[in-house]
Structure 1
């Protein structure tokens, strides 16, 4: 166990600081704490070389954790100090932003003692090992970067393989087909491609995570799932549970694609006007991934035959999407759909 490592804990809730210190006290660490971002920067400026690790809350008044992290990474004296974000925000956007700004990890609140201890210990060991290498002029940056890329690529490939297996399992228990799942993935990626606020990485995530949108149907009784007629009110209540069930199944993963799949499965039946399910989210409260897959899924479902309905013609399906702009669907996504309609129709007509 590393001894005498100095940790700065930054959180505007004093109880959170106390909990973290009580958990970590067995590690023989030295602690300093700050109740906001401004105070944290002041303390670091006084002793820029004295902290070995920073536990940094995201949601704080004045300067938030993202802003503090950015300032520290822009300062040569502190850019290498590892920052672990402490957060109740576990959405993909927040996590991605934290890593993009230079954070090395994140821990969700409330803290789990074993997780906090393990992650702090790991990142302190990595930091001190890096300091030793620097002192001995051993530049392993290129090799380490190559290995990191290789490992990340391998992890992502494993996630994609698991998603493919689960999607195939879902097909065997419902009326979803592999072709439907592939078309939804292509539609979702196409919407992301033309969205002004999304990136190529978002396209990739949506393409590989959207096939899991209905994975929760595996938890629904087959007599309800395969019913040809209209659901009773009680049956529909059961059917709607596939969204929350999927989220419970997937949300414990820290892997990028699985976390995105959890969001998509949970939110793709929410509606822009707040009348969807399971939580009645409204407008931008719905994650952009959920909004995208909602439109992609409905358009494909309308244009293809299911056991409970015949396929609609393309014009009728397109009109449905347009007529439900600002009620069921994100208006910006409907505008993208209309602007690039030929590409969406080509996907719908693919075999």
Structure 2
């Protein structure tokens, strides 16, 4: 048994308290006592953690034992302390009520000393065993959370490694450059940061998933990707297929970064007015990740030269995006872009 568990004895008759203490002292308990319910509650609620058991009379002036027990059980700080009713009331209704309000046992007076000793010892040991089990469960839960967090972190790092490798492969097969992809990630993350319906996790997801937007270009013929002039209608249709190709490549993953990358690959060429591809989605039918990357991609691409075009002046780029608000781009995102324009321009010309 644990050293000196403390028992609270509650009875309006001093002799009854003394008798119980005399019987139980041979098991080396510590004692507190109260002669009414209000006094007992005040003492217990001051230091609930010190009590291992409450011996509670039922018939007391003012607040009876049933009411005291109900109050204790309704208080999370005292709810787990076991209560044994120690009373002269022997009718079945009283016994039933004692258990109904949360008592763990019911000993009727006059009681045999051995009965009180054994039941007290059993309930105290059970109480401390439950406390120990609860502590072990908390330790185990902490360990499980730590291991789960560690595992999830490793999985996310694996996803990031996979995205990095695929992005490098994408760069080698298309006109995308590493600098463009890095800037695109930062621009998309910044748009997400200022979007009222997105959170820090969305910012992180977009930063890592946005580089996969054109992964489907790996399945487009290199001579088409590298063509310096304008596409014929037939060639443009072939080029547009990269959105579906990217989605098909990534869609079966259940990992959050890859799932987000699949959405972005599929929807970053959709337009707010429904005139985009591959599905002609309209407005908020387009996932917010796709809408964000659509704006980020166009902004950075226009501001920098490619083999088939010169870089635009930044004012022309901004006016172009502003003019396509509600047509190609989500108006809310355009408003965010314009409100924080200096930050977006800083990213655009940082690398």
> Is TM (by shorter chain) over 0.5?
yes
Q: What is aligned with 1:342?
A: 342
Q: What is aligned with 2:294?
A: 294
Q: TM-score, normalised by structure 2?
A: 0.61
Q: Is the alpha carbon distance of 1:134 and 1:333 closer, same or farther for their aligned partners in structure 2, counting shifts above 3 Å?
A: farther
Matched, 1:195 2:195: yes
Q: What is aligned with 2:33?
A: none
Supply the RMSD in Å over aligned alpha carbons. 1.5
> Any residues of structure 2 matched to 1:235-314 within 5 Å, and which?
235-314=235-314
Counterpart secondary structure, 2:231: coil
> Any residues of structure 2 matched to 1:52-201 within 5 Å, and which?
138-139=136-137, 140-201=140-201
User: Which segments of 5 or more consecutive residues in structure 1 lack a partner in the other structure?
Assistant: 1-132
Q: In 1, distance between residues paired with 2:131 and 2:309?
A: 66
Q: Is the alpha carbon distance of 1:175 and 1:134 closer, same or farther for their aligned partners in structure 2, counting shifts above 3 Å?
A: farther
Q: Is the alpha carbon distance of 1:151 and 1:318 closer, same or farther for their aligned partners in structure 2, counting shifts above 3 Å?
A: same
Q: In 1, distance between residues paired with 2:228 and 2:131?
A: 68
The CA deviation at 1:148 is 0.5
Q: In 1, distance between residues paired with 2:321 and 2:243?
A: 22
The CA deviation at 1:135 is 11
Q: In 2, distance between residues paired with 1:136 and 1:339?
A: 56
The one-character-per-residue Cα deviations of 1:171-190 (angstroms, maximum 9, x if unpaired) are 01111100000000000000
Greater C-alpha Rg: 2
The one-character-per-residue Cα deviations of 1:149-190 (angstroms, maximum 9, x if unpaired) are 000000000000100010001001111100000000000000
Q: In 1, distance between residues paired with 2:132 and 2:252?
A: 39
The CA deviation at 1:223 is 1.0
How many residue pairs align between the two structures? 219
The one-character-per-residue Cα deviations of 1:45-80 (angstroms, maximum 9, x if unpaired) are xxxxxxxxxxxxxxxxxxxxxxxxxxxxxxxxxxxx
The CA deviation at 1:134 is 11
Q: In 1, distance between residues paired with 2:153 and 2:235?
A: 42
The CA deviation at 1:136 is 6.2
User: Which segments of 5 or more consecutive residues in structure 2 lack a partner in the other structure?
Assistant: 1-129
The CA deviation at 1:348 is 1.0
